[in-house]
Amino acid sequence: MRVKVKRKPGESLPQLLKRFLNRYAKSGIALEVKSKMYRLKNENERLKQERRLYRLKLQSFIKKKIKEGWPFSKAYDLAKRYVNYIKYEGGREE
């Protein structure tokens, strides 16, 4: 991915440089290069399991609250706030 900027007629060098830097920052090239600079470690099993459990807790809590008549946004906010106190039953459907 390249960023091209041509000098407009009557444009000074600082203006051109500022326009180029803005376009470069918005393009996301710097983030992409930084992410590719280092080799990422493989995710370990414990982290995978914790993320899975977190997601399942949120899903089960939100489903319960939606059945009770809560709007999704309020149920989601409440689930995020109290995720440490939510007990996941392990996939039992009610």
- What are the angstrom distances between the C-alpha of 72 and each of 32, 54, 58, 68? 34, 17, 12, 11
| Segment 37-60, tens digit of pLDDT | 988 888 899 999 999 999 999 999
Residue 93: pLDDT over 70: no
**Are residues 60 and 89 in contact, defined by beta-carbon separation less than 8 angstroms?**
yes
Residue 88: pLDDT over 90: no
pLDDT category of residue 92 using cuts at 50, 70 and 90: low
Q: If 0-12 CB within 10 Å is exposed, 13-18 middle and 19+ buried, where does residue 61 land?
A: buried
- Quote the pTM value: 0.53
